[in-house]
Amino acid sequence: MNRIRVAIQKSGRLSEKSLDLLQSCGLRFARSKDKLYWYGKDFPVDLLLVRDDDIPRMLLDGVCELGIVGENIAEEVMLESGEGGGMTQLRKLSFGGCRLSLAVPEDSSITSAQDLDGCRIATSYPALTNALLARRGITAETVKFSGSVEIAPGLGIADAISDLVSTGTTLRANHLIEMEVLFESTAALYGQLDKLSPEKRTMLDRLLARLDGVLLAAESKYVMLNAPRDAIEEITRLLPGAENPSLMNLEGAPDRVALHAVCREAVFWEHLEALRGAGATAILVLPVEKMLG
């Protein structure tokens, strides 16, 4: 069957953005009634909607060729199963950002990761936590929790926790202090590329090219402005991530030109102010929807 399957989270923090991303690559799906399997309409790419924790295993077992999941979960499963089993990170994505941090009770005598040697740490990510601590020469005992890790110290089950944090509100509510960040995570696209047929390989490459176009477009802007002819060089230098701008004559103003450029980095107010300082006028910044080539 020459169709590619992509697993994404069914409902949770990554669901909407994962689906949006695939849709911006031009994928359309026929939503099935049970909502677990969506058939790809004009591209042979189907969607599997599952729990995020199941995605790495599905990739390793060859149930799907692609999956979007947090690096926290992917790393944990790859470490657990040893060597990753052919599962590869293809693209890091810009959503699902969080950090795996060590936290201790407010009144704890533990003040740094080094103090955790020989201690008990409650976590949903034992393999990742152990690996990150081991890199720093720290050996602790991990106790696996599937959820509500933050209650473990209060119950006397652990001296510390290693858990995902984004704002820190949950930690504070449980009288825990974030001590150290162990791992910064975002969502990422993973692939199981072993034994891919040449047809699937071609499809995958086409999909990745579109994805790169979407990712690049997301951070790019199209800038149009009018500039004094003798300031073109300086203005080009002031445009963030721009190469080879297009220049057009302005009717009736021989000493000025219209300059258009794609900026491949974020364009801030400070950039615009600097451009105006260099003599640019009528500065317009437009979003870029798609890019290819």
The one of Zn ion, ligand ATP, none whose footprint includes residue 160, by CB under 5 to 8 A per kind, is none
| Binding positions for Zn ion, 45-104, rule CB under 5 A | 52-53
The nearest distance, CB 28 to ligand ATP, in angstroms, is: 24
Nearest-angstrom CA–CA distance, 219 and 216: 6
Q: Which residues sit opposite 26 in a β-bridge?
A: none
Nearest residue to the partner ligand ATP, using Cβ: 70
Q: In this complex, which beta carbon is closest to ligand ATP, that of residue 9 or of residue 162?
A: 9
Give the shortest CB-52-to-Zn ion separation in angstroms: 4
185's contact among Zn ion, ligand ATP, none, with CB below 5 to 8 A by partner kind, is ligand ATP
Choices 68-76, 81-89, 100-108, 125-133 (CB under 6 A): range interacting with ligand ATP: 68-76
Output 22 or 283, the one with its CB closest to ligand ATP. 22
Residues 6+ apart with CB under 8 A from 293: none
The footprint of ligand ATP on residues 194-253 (CB under 6 A) is: none
Residue 96 engages ligand ATP in binding (rule: CB under 6 A): yes
Q: CB of 285: closest distance to ligand ATP in angstroms?
A: 30
DSSP string for 53-65? GGHHHHHHTTS-S
Give the DSSP H or E segment for 223. strand 221-228
Q: How far is the CB of 209 from ligand ATP (least distance, A)?
A: 26
**CB atoms near residue 242 (< 10 Å):** 22
68/207 with CB nearer ligand ATP: 68
Q: Is 47 in the site for ligand ATP (CB under 6 A)?
A: no
CB neighbour class for 67 (10 Å; exposed up to 12, middle 13-18, buried from 19): buried
Q: Does 129 bind ligand ATP (CB under 6 A)?
A: no
Residues in Cβ contact with 274 at an 8 Å cutoff, skipping those fewer than 6 apart: 238
Q: Which of 9, 123, 142, 174 binds ligand ATP (CB under 6 A)?
A: 9
Query: Which residues make Cβ contacts (< 8 Å) with residue 3, sequence separation at least 6?
Result: 40, 44, 45, 46
Among candidate residues 74, 60, 81, 75, the one with its CA nearest the CA of residue 9: 74
Check: CB of residue 60 under 8 Å from CB of residue 162: no
Instruction: Name the site residues for ligand ATP (rule: CB under 6 A).
Output: 9, 12-14, 51-53, 70, 72-73, 96, 98, 164, 166, 185
Instruction: Name the site residues for Zn ion (rule: CB under 5 A).
Output: 52-53
